[in-house]
């Protein structure tokens, strides 16, 4: 039976480290601060924003919340970003996605000062991740690396398979596994022979967005299985991309949903906010 990786516990320990770092910075007169921008009233986004605000309070990070109406124009949103870019109290800017359809998410991200881009979505930061010289790591993939580390399993030399190639999860995940000397295969909706490729994985990361998509026959016995998915099953219950009940007996380690990858994303965001405050105050990371 696989061991469940306790994302809540690993995230709590990272938030504790962040809180200690924030206290140290405060003694130097630096108060890390973050702005969270929410446009519209998507209930899931509201929950994410609340969780991020809560994590700021837990770690001692100053936070400001901007809730804008769904009909906010592109110019109005960009004006707010410009104001936050110039605000010395704010070191990190997070614009909660998805944005309403009439707003250009890519354009908004490109207007965030790269030094305040705590999501690491700006092309400048993406490029730095690609060349391995990064200030911020994208929160979900970075959290997954920490979860794998927490198991004691080394990534170096392992066959790593990432299912999904989105800009926020799949691609940066593959890059971080590569930086850790894994041998990485990226799969997507056009991949042929997906089950066979997944079965070769020592470390399998599922970031597909389809409930229980990874079935037991796709998993190598003893694999580390990381489930990024936040899906709903046929009864509307939260579940992941992995058929947990069937895969848990085969895996060596597995993340549950909820309580696996999700809490790590927020913990790594707090870590990035502290890095941003250091960068903007000329302190080495």
Catalytic-labelled residue, pool 15, 116, 117, 119: 119
Residue 259: which region, alpha, beta or left (left: phi > 0; alpha: psi -120 to 50)?
A: left
Question: CB-wise, 115 or 140, nearer to ligand NAP?
Answer: 140
Question: CB-wise, 170 or 256, nearer to ligand NAP?
Answer: 170
Tokens of 45: 């986004």
Question: CB-wise, 112 or 261, nearer to ligand NAP?
Answer: 261
Q: Determine contact, residues 204/170, Cβ cutoff 8 Å.
A: no
Least distance in Å: CB of 258 to ligand NAP?
A: 9
Question: CB-wise, 80 or 143, nearer to ligand NAP?
Answer: 143
> Buried (b) or exposed (e) across 220-248, using 16+ Cβ within 10 A?
beebbbbbbbbbeeeeeeebbbbbbeebb
53 is annotated as an active-site residue = no
Question: CB-wise, 83 or 149, nearer to ligand NAP?
Answer: 149
Least distance in Å: CB of 237 to ligand NAP?
A: 14
Classified as helix, coil or strand, 34 is strand
H helix intervals, 87-229: 105-111, 123-131, 139-151, 170-179, 194-199
Whole-angstrom Cα distance, residue 101 to residue 216? 37
42 is annotated as an active-site residue = no
Least distance in Å: CB of 213 to ligand NAP?
A: 7
41 is annotated as an active-site residue = no
Least distance in Å: CB of 130 to ligand NAP?
A: 18
Least distance in Å: CB of 51 to ligand NAP?
A: 10
Whole-angstrom Cα distance, residue 201 to residue 206? 11
Binding site for ligand NAP (CB under 6 A): 140, 163-166, 168-170, 187-191, 194, 207-210, 228-231, 261-262, 265
Residue number with the shortest CB distance to ligand NAP? Answer: 166
Give the residue numbers annotated as catalytic, written as ranges. Answer: 52, 96, 119
């Amino acid at each position: 039976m696989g061991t469940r990786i306790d994302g809540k516990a690993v995230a709590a320990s990272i938030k504790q480290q962040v809180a200690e770092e924030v206290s140290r910075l405060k003694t130097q007169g630096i108060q890390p601060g973050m702005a969270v921008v929410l446009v519209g009233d998507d209930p899931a986004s509201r929950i994410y924003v609340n969780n991020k605000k809560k994590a700021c309070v837990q770690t001692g990070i100053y936070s400001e919340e901007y809730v804008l109406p769904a009909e906010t124009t592109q110019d109005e949103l960009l004006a707010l970003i410009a104001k936050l870019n110039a605000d010395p109290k704010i070191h990190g800017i997070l614009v909660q996605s998805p944005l309403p359809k009439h707003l250009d998410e890519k354009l908004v991200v490109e207007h965030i000062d790269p030094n305040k881009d705590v999501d690491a979505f700006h092309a400048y930061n993406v490029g730095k991740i690609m060349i391995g010289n990064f200030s911020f790591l994208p929160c979900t993939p970075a959290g997954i690396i920490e979860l794998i580390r927490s198991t004691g399993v080394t990534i170096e030399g392992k066959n790593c398979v990432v299912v999904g190639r989105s800009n926020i999860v799949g691609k940066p995940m593959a890059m971080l596994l590569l930086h850790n000397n894994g041998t990485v295969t990226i799969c997507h909706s056009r991949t042929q022979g997906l089950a066979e490729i997944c079965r070769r994985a020592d470390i399998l990361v599922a970031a597909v967005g389809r409930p229980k998509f990874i079935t037991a026959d796709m998993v190598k016995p003893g694999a580390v299985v990381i489930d990024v998915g936040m899906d709903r099953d046929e009864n509307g219950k939260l579940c992941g991309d992995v058929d947990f009940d069937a895969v848990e007996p085969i895996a060596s380690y597995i993340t549950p949903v909820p309580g696996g990858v999700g809490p790590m994303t927020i913990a790594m965001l707090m870590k990035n906010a502290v890095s941003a405050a250091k960068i903007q105050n000329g302190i080495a990371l």
